[in-house]
Amino acid sequence: MKNAVRFAVIGGGSWGTAIVKMLCENVTELNWYVRTPETVAYIKHHKHNPNYLSSVELHNNQINVSSDINDIVANSDYLIFVIPSAFLHSELQKLTVDISEKIIFSAIKGIVPESSLIVGEHFHKHYNIPYKNIGVISGPCHAEEVALEKLSYLTIACCDKDKACMLATHLKSDYINCKTSDDIIGTEYAAVLKNIYSIAAGIAHGLGYGDNFQSVLMSNAIREMKRFIKRRHKMKRNINNSAYLGDLLVTGYSIFSRNRMFGNMIGKGYTVKSAIMEMNMIAEGYYATKSAFKLNNNETRTPIIDAVYAILYENKNPKKVFKKLTEQLD
């Protein structure tokens, strides 16, 4: 067991539960912020999260779980945020303690709506966190497979290689393989964009398009991702690496993908509101679509993002939009 630094997981969803499970393999003490006191009480009594990955048995002797975010943050060095991007701003407003000297890692796959920034940029601009103390945890990895202890891969990105390696050491296990990267901006944008492309894949499936078309869609998606990320942050990167292409593929095709499920419902005729209500889960790609569309502002060619935006936010007919999209892909 390693416990050189104090870790906190901020968020009680499926990814929060999965990262708690991973860290408990290698640390003796761990802080965990869960929003509601009722969930905290349930976890302490039953050793399971009642709402997410309920099959995972939690090691309560290692975990200090609390609904007091300030207490958790004050007593931790590394803060791993897994709160959905749509709710990050409101949760951060609860903070009264200074986090400017904390080390922040984000496993959030979205853009903060209030600032139109990816999470790392948001912390840097609004909380004065230097980029050397900001990192990203990306896939390809589904929380559900972590719960099942199926072999999974993570990419830990940070400008400070030592911090990336340190966190990777504490997350890896027999079923978790970790690699490091210095592309914090690119990997985070990739994590945002792949959710939009997963919605597109789901819409295509819901409309009745087959595997042949979806392979073309994914091929175009990775090239579109490359153009978008290059425009936002130009550096040498291999877009075919697992943190980019691998994460796109698992999110676009997996049965565990919430974004693909959401898109599939839209393709089958659900309204956005009814799909969100029936899923009862957060599809990060829904919020990411609006942010990415506005951020791009026609600076680079993004026909897939444009198509998903037209369907979700302009109430355009999915069948007509995808008919037009098929003529733009190659």
For position 210, what pLDDT does the model report? Answer: 95
| CATH number for the domain that contains residue 30 | 3.40.50.720
For position 4, what pLDDT does the model report? Answer: 72
Question: Nearest CA to 306 among 207, 215, 220?
Answer: 220
- Same domain assignment for residues 164 and 191: no
- Same domain assignment for residues 65 and 78: yes
Give the CA-trace dihedral at 316, 321, 324, 327, to 10 degrees.
Answer: 150
For position 1, what pLDDT does the model report? Answer: 54
Mean pLDDT for each consecutive 10-residue tract of the chain (330 residues)?
Answer: 81 94 94 96 95 92 96 97 92 95 93 89 94 94 92 95 96 96 92 95 97 95 96 87 90 88 96 87 86 90 98 97 96
| CATH number for the domain that contains residue 222 | 1.10.1040.10
- Same domain assignment for residues 153 and 226: no
Q: How far apart, in whole angstroms, are the C-alpha atoms of residue 13 and residue 18?
A: 9
- Same domain assignment for residues 196 and 263: yes
Domain span at residue 270? 186-326
Q: Is 194 a catalytic residue?
A: yes
- Same domain assignment for residues 268 and 215: yes
**Would you say the C-alpha torsion 247, 251, 253, 255 has a positive or negative sign?**
positive
Structural contact between residues 90 and 51, judged by C-beta atoms closer than 8 angstroms: no
Q: How far apart, in whole angstroms, are the C-alpha atoms of residue 241 and residue 140?
A: 10
pTM of structure: 0.89
Q: How far apart, in whole angstroms, are the C-alpha atoms of residue 115 and residue 173?
A: 36
Q: How far apart, in whole angstroms, are the C-alpha atoms of residue 95 and residue 66?
A: 14
Of 47, 194, 226, 316, the catalytic one is: 194
- Same domain assignment for residues 196 and 126: no
- Same domain assignment for residues 126 and 222: no
191: enclosing H helix or E strand: helix 184-207
For position 3, what pLDDT does the model report? Answer: 57
**Would you say the C-alpha torsion 221, 225, 231, 237 has a positive or negative sign?**
negative
**Would you say the C-alpha torsion 45, 33, 109, 79 has a positive or negative sign?**
negative
For position 137, what pLDDT does the model report? Answer: 96
Q: Within 13 Å and on the Cβ side, how many CA atoms surround 136?
A: 29
